[in-house]
Amino acid sequence: MTEILKEILKDLPDGKISDANFEGANIVLYTKDKDFFLDDKNMVKDIVNKIKKRIELRPDPSICMDEEKAEKKIRKAIGEDAGIDKIIFDPQRSMVIIEVEKPGTAIGKQGDTLQKIKSETLWVPTIRRKPAIRSQLIENIRSVLYQNSDYRKKFLHKTGERIYNGWMRGKKDEWVRITALGGARQVGRSAILLQTPESRVLLDCGIDVASEKNPYPHLEAPEFDIKELDAIIVSHAHIDHSGLVPLLFKYGYRGPVYCTRPTRDISALLQLDLIKIQREEGGKDPIYSSDDVKETVKHTITLEYGEVTDITPDIRITLYNAGHILGSAMVHIHIGNGLHNFLYSADIKYAKTNLLSPAHTTFPRLETLMIESTYGSKDAVMPNPRDQDKLFGDIVTNTLKRGGKVLMPVLGSGRAQEIIVLIERMIREGMMDKIPIYIDGLVWDITAIHTAYPEYLNSNVREQIFHKDNNPFLQDNIKRIGSAQERKELLEETGPCVILATSGMLVGGPSVAYLRELANNPKNSLVFTCYQGEGSLGRIIQQGVKEVNFKNGSKNELVEIKLEVHKLEITGHSDRRELMNFIGKCNPKPRKVIVNHGESSRCLDLARSVHKTHHVETLAPKNLESIRLV
């Protein structure tokens, strides 16, 4: 037993605690004494105040009510108005997960319904929102957690032992450094290795889907050893930040992955989709399997925004809203006993969008900031959002009037949902006629995830989702395309419409199939709304190419690009002005700014401007360069 558990048990009455475990950095005490579980909260609260760690008291599984009887009690306590979808028992941890349509109704005033369930059944209830849109893929991902509860309990305990026991790696000096394994002076394959005397932590591990030559981070670098890796932190679900994580599990990593709940769900979907694309369109075996994705989910520990947690003996992290996509996070890292505070911004949006609130700017302490620069150059200033909305409305209206279709290649998470919310608002405000919208690829499943986590959306969309009739994702003009036959019917038999399809850079997925069929008709329009990576088909078309080769079975088919091509600046990234404003608003002000995640010229341009404006040290490292922070 670790010292911290001994310290806790010393302050509790003998015989009251039957077991003590870690769940990551959290400490869970189990008791067979019903009265102690239900009544004695002050004693545990006093210990929490003393040791400054999160402690939870739960009933020992042996005293929990029979599951069948408990389910009846739960259904009666919550009632029909909450819309119970499913009840899932986790007997290893004495917990019950209740998925409902209306969490507020299920919880009751001041949590009285939950307290009633706890006292009557001795199960600890957790309420989860049922997605308003049903997705079998999401249910399959979450079932991985429910089906492996015994393994999860052992894994979480082992993670906690590592955090609280610790071990020195033989280096007693205080030092901290980061190494860019990917994403330095480029967009794609983000991976930053953080090293301290006691820890090795990987910040993101992505794939550059637009690059055939160098798509993966430099995991062969001498600094990186998968056997020494303590933790992985995933900022958000986009493939260029999360796509390679399952490969680490393929090669034996069995430590924790930290992220938000939406990021866990969406990244798993995107990783499974990547396997499908590589198998069907790449003509080669996928780099990892669905089993490796399942292992990733099994080892994921989710955090809420603002939740502080230890992840190694000398690293504590807090995730903050990044404003980029659903569940995207900036990672604040507190190293040592006040030794250094580092903020990894990953991708940020410092402005309110149709979907999300702007990135957070207030932190407890901050010495070094690593910030993205996707749109970091002087010329990368976005036009007024209202002007872009009007331009979008004009493009759609004009295309549909002449009998054409609007194809919008989108990232499965982020831009697609922004567009859905934008169209719904423009229809509601009379700026656009009610138009048919067809969704293809993972957009449908990821949209379903948005309906399950409205608390991560801005207040306007959140309120719409709470009122089912106003949910922008459930309007009757939105249709799903779920098969090749439905895609064929849409192209051949359906009239003017808007098509949202993955992938956003035209490097695989249904958007490429649509483009092949729509490209040679000048009545149609192609509208880009997200960043087009160097070497991607999207970038090539944006630059004005008029003929494109498409694979058609074993043959190549040359197709003329006759449709109208438009670029709308509806982005989840901050432009130059927003990036500079974000740095200026950071509280406290960082002493050092490291610029990454941008084409080389944009990284260097932003770094110079930050130094000139804010008078702080700035760096724009290349891949494989290491920077000592302390």
* CATH numbers and ranges of domains, the chain: 3-62 (3.30.300.230), 64-130 (3.30.300.20), 176-378+573-628 (3.60.15.10), 385-567 (3.40.50.10890)
| Number of other residues whose CB lies within 10 A of the CB of residue 171 | 11
Q: What's the pLDDT score for residue 543?
A: 86
Residue 50: strand, helix, or coil = helix
Contact between 381 and 609 (Cβ < 8 Å) = no
CA 546 remoteness from chain centre:
36
> What confidence score (pLDDT) does residue 211 get?
86
CB atoms within 10 A of CB 601: 12
Report DSSP state, residue 227.
Answer: G
pTM of the model: 0.92
Pairing verdict, β 84-90 and 95-100: antiparallel
- Render 153-202 in DSSP notation, one character per residue: HHHHHHHHHHHHH----S--S---EEEEEE-TTSSS--EEEEE-SS-EEE
pLDDT value of position 568? 84
375 SS3 class: coil
Give the dihedral of Cα atoms 397, 402, 403, 404; nearest 10 deg.
-70
- Tell me what pLDDT residue 369 has: 98
Q: Which of 526, 525, 528, 511 is nearest to 441 (CA)?
A: 511
If you search the block for the tokens 């849109």, which residue do you land on? 133
Q: Which residues of the chain have pLDDT under 70?
A: 1, 40-41, 167-172, 281-283, 412, 552-554
Give the pLDDT of residue 40. Answer: 66
* pLDDT value for 312: 96
- pLDDT of 284: 74
Phi, psi (rounded to 5 degrees) for 331: -110, 110
Give the pairing type, strands 55-59 and 315-321: unpaired
Full DSSP string of 561-630: --SEEEE----SS--HHHHHHHHHH-BSPPSEEEEESS-HHHHHHHHHHHHHHH--EEE-PPTT-EEE--
How is residue 445 written in tokens?
A: 């499943």
What pLDDT shows up at residue 283? 65
Letter string b/e over residues 406-437, b meaning 16 or more CB atoms within 10 A of that residue's CB: bbbbbbbbbbbbbbbbbbbbbbeeebbeebbb
CA distance readout (Å), 145 to 88, 140, 296, 298, 370: 11, 9, 11, 6, 33
Helix (H) or strand (E) holding 100: strand 95-100
Q: What is the DSSP letter of 221?
A: S
Length of the chain: 630
